Amino acid sequence: MRLQNFGILALLAVATTAFWVAFNQPREEAGWNGRITGISYSPYRAGQSPNGGPHPTPEQIDEDLRILSDKVDRVRVYTTQDGQNVVPGLAQKYDMTVTLGAWVDNRKERSEREVRDVIRLARTNRNVDRVIVGNEALLRAELTVPELVQYIRRVRDQVQVPVSTAETWDVWLANPQLAQAVDFIAVQILPYWDGTEINQAVESVFSRYQQLRRTFPDKKIVLSEVGWPSDGRMRLDSVPSRVNQASFVRQFLARADDWGLDYYVIEAFDQPWKHSTEGGVGAYWGIWNVDRTPKFAYQGLLQERPNWPILAGLSVALGALFTLIFFRRASYLRFPGRLVFASILQTLAVGTVWVGYVTATKYLTVTAMVVWGVLLLAMVLLAVILLAEGREMIDALWSRTMRRGFRPLKVEGERHWPKVSIHVPIYNEPPQMVMQTIDSLLRLDYPALEIIVVDNNTKDEDVWRPVEAYCADKTDRVKFLHIPHCPGFKAQALNIALAHTAADAEVIGVVDSDYLVQADWLKSLVPYFDSDKVGFVQAPQDHRDAHVSPFKRMINWEYAGFFNIGMVQRNEDNAIIQHGTMTLIRRSALVATGQWGEWCIVEDAELGMRLLEAGWESVYVNHSFGHGLSPDSFSGFKRQRFRWAYGAVQILKRHWRALLPWDKSTSLTGAQRYHFVMGWLPWFADALSVVLAVLGLVWTAGLLAFPTYFDFPLSIFLAPTIAVFAFKLVRFFWLYSAKVKCDTADCLRAGVAGLALTYTIGYAMLAGLFTKKLPFHRTPKMEDKAALVQALAMARTEAIMLVLLVAGGLAIGLRFGTLDREAWVWSATLFVQATPYAAAVYTAVRDALPKIVLPKLSLFGLRKPAIGREGDPASSPADAR
């Protein structure tokens, strides 16, 4: 095994190194050796901004010009305000020429100051060679052509240097009359915004340049902005990257030298403040970083991440650390299981290093940091879920042997059979159904048995009186109790039953009122109590009505996954979830730990946790000894799962200290703590998915309405969401096919049924975090409506979310998909987020289909009584579980 583990580490190290090599292939590019004729210069540093300041100091501007003077002959500034009026004077120290800019727009007072100051500086500084009045003012529709021409003429009349305005090539071509008002054509040619592929980018610049020369043969053409961004969003075939930026700049400068072009590379230093006006890409046009370090060399091979060997080494080391820790506890796994999980760990290590590197190289605004933080938290949760579900998968598929594989016992010969008291809580149930449950219990092959039926809160005597009469003929073995006012619902009813239990009963059994129990249940499981350590013994929850409708069939297979996979794996570490039916509890343990918790709506799971905290052992026998009824509708299915999820939060809020690894006040082991936390974590992930879906819709609205201020989240965050979703699908089908033994169609339907509960579970978890009492739930009354309308009513919120998410994905694709590849990633993310809501609508419609094509059926030949009070936690047999 040690040799195998070493082989796994070596294989993953090679694969990780190959990954970093593949994404950092060096590019050969012709070098360039010369001086840059001109460069656009904005002096703002990290934390500075023209939009409200702070602004650069003269000392900072002087430092910038000193740095630039080693490589650049001329700088172009865009304004004379906010302290930039010192640029011409400071530039004289370094023999640099300055092209002054006056930023004119629809703010008349500021524009007047700009014009007045640019005239003064141009007349008083002999190193000013040109003036550019306005920068893309027509493109932004901030001025009309006549208004802009008026500003240009005022400046031309009062300075001795050439004057123009800077606009994109298409604006110049569309406004030939503008050329008559200027001394030269100052044109911005940025192939990135045209979506040009990098290998064609330089050629496209010169093609546009030639087009302008042909259009304006009498005017000098100056490239007032030409460049390529080093980071940001893709746009059609334009991919921002450091290598692409370096390649573009090298090629352009070499060709510009050959042609003798007059140009200004955009720009000197990265400007993080531009994120708010131009989107993320606006911050990355500099050929120096914001910290004034150069981004690339002008000679030699180009690499996106020259420090990739360090990143690869960190990835290998981090992955090896995770894997070695895992190997210490993985001796029970066969080789494929160790390889698969080690691969997951190594993938997470690479992802951690990659995200850390990207985070360190981004310029983040306060808003961006908030968004980034939310996405990072989501990624951490995704990683934890990936580990938890990956661990469950390898344990289920590749464990060498089961450590606690309990089976039904077959006891031969004479022995002591402890007395068992079976408690059957009922609330407003069909009498005939309850009678069938009692009959099945009376047929149990067990010598020492009593049955206590507790009816709580049922007001209609026609419902509970027949059960009372039925039990009256069996008083030697059955007791019937009617509690008209039972505010503690099922938990209180069970405590009342416990108070009426025979003094000599040693084991308490709980069976729901809709279960038909096999005769060998007790004899097969009670002997496990021969061990003084065993506190409770659990058999699976199972159902007998899968044949009634396609809806019932799909949700029954959905239940099967937990009992055949999750409970089996939890049992390996004595960490099962107790369920309130088909469960047997040592009476002394139940009494000693405080009986049933009436404060909690999942009293069964909460009691199970208390028993484990007290040091009792559990036994899970994966054999169905009883079969009940599943929820009658999608609404009932959702109510049941809402109750389980809400109750889980109640338990966590009461018992969270016991789950801390350093807490010594309980007997919980580390493995038990792990299973309880990781078992409920996916439900918190459902809550996060609901929050992220809502935030996704808000962000989508921002992208559509305010594209300048909203940018697409990075694919580095979005792609893992899609990848984890794909992993969960593969894992689900793999485990179901191996452990649940259903065919492909039923496996698919079970997956859809589970996915359909995402919103319900997520909402329940959020409600549990912020409330103390189960929220009121009203089932829409739609009996007089068409079946399809009833179905949509049962999934009303999910249907609304589905429509919004799909519409948002389509709108993003139509609006940005032709321009931005990252728009497709965002659209795909919205469609993935819509999947659970689509599953909910499908499941609801599946529930309605039998009502469309078949007459309404009843298992017992009568309709079930109406729910007693809307909002009661135990509103049906299935809901009560």
pLDDT grade for 855, boundaries at 50, 70 and 90: very low
- Res. 876: pLDDT tops 50: no
Of 670, 671, 677, 644, which is closest to residue 571 (Cα–Cα)? 671
H/E element, 20:
helix 2-22
- Res. 210: pLDDT tops 70: yes
The pLDDT of residue 377 is 82
Other CB atoms closer than 10 Å to residue 186's CB: what's the count? 30
Average pLDDT over residues 294-317: 94
Sign, Cα dihedral of 303, 304, 309, 310:
positive
pTM given for the model: 0.82
Cross-strand pairs, 508: 421, 585
Q: Would you call 697 exposed, middle or buried from its count of C-beta atoms within 10 A (0-12, 13-18, 19+)?
A: middle
* Cα 91 to Cα 61, 63, 244, 268, 451, distances in angstroms: 9, 10, 30, 15, 98
**Pseudo-torsion of CA 511, 516, 519, 522, nearest 10°?**
-20
d(CA 486, CA 880): 15
pLDDT grade for 780, boundaries at 50, 70 and 90: very low
The pLDDT of residue 866 is 35
Q: In the 3-class helix/strand/coil scheme, how is 630-646 assigned residue by residue?
A: CCCCHHHHHHHHHHHHH
The pLDDT of residue 222 is 97
Contact by Cβ (8 Å): 132, 38: no
Helix (H, G, I), strand (E, B) or coil at 797: helix
Q: How many CA atoms lie within 13 A of 743 on its CB side?
A: 2
- Res. 369: pLDDT tops 90: no
Average pLDDT over residues 225-251: 93
The tokens for 34 are 């010369």
Contact by Cβ (8 Å): 572, 620: no
Residue with tokens 């497709």: 824
Sign, Cα dihedral of 633, 638, 639, 644:
positive
DSSP 504-522: TEEEEEE--TT-EE-TTHH
Average pLDDT over residues 651-670: 94
Cross-strand pairs, 543: 628
pLDDT grade for 874, boundaries at 50, 70 and 90: very low
| Lowest-pLDDT range of 318-322, 558-562, 779-783, 802-806 | 779-783
H/E element, 239:
none
- Looking at per-residue pLDDT, the higher value among 826 and 277 belongs to 826
d(CA 815, CA 831): 16
- Looking at per-residue pLDDT, the higher value among 368 and 577 belongs to 577
CATH topology of domain 30-284: TIM Barrel (3.20.20)
AA identity, residue 552: K
Segment 382-419, tens digit of pLDDT: 888 889 889 999 999 999 888 898 999 998 888 999 99
The pLDDT of residue 51 is 87
The set of long-range contacts for 84-87, using a CB threshold of 8 Å and a minimum separation of 24, is 84/43, 84/56, 85/117, 85/121, 86/58, 86/61, 87/41, 87/43, 87/61
Sequence ranges of the domains in the chain:
2-21+306-398, 30-284
pLDDT grade for 796, boundaries at 50, 70 and 90: very high
Q: Would you call 139 exposed, middle or buried from its count of C-beta atoms within 10 A (0-12, 13-18, 19+)?
A: middle
- Res. 871: pLDDT tops 50: no
The tokens for 705 are 């309405």
The tokens for 601 are 């709506």
Helix (H, G, I), strand (E, B) or coil at 167: strand
The pLDDT of residue 775 is 57
Q: What percent of the chain has pLDDT over 90?
A: 75
d(CA 34, CA 72): 9
The tokens for 776 are 């009121």
- Res. 138: pLDDT tops 60: yes
Distance of alpha carbon 645 from its chain centroid, rounded? 19
Rounded to the nearest integer, the mean pLDDT of the chain is 90
The tokens for 665 are 């006040």
The tokens for 23 are 């994404």
| Lowest-pLDDT range of 160-169, 364-373, 546-555, 676-685 | 364-373
Contact by Cβ (8 Å): 572, 392: no
Segment 76-106, tens digit of pLDDT: 999 999 999 999 999 999 999 999 999 999 9
- Res. 293: pLDDT tops 60: yes
Average pLDDT over residues 490-516: 96
Left, alpha or beta for 479 (phi > 0: left; psi -120 to 50: alpha)? beta
Residue 864 is classified by DSSP as P
Of 213, 218, 166, which is closest to residue 188 (Cα–Cα)? 166
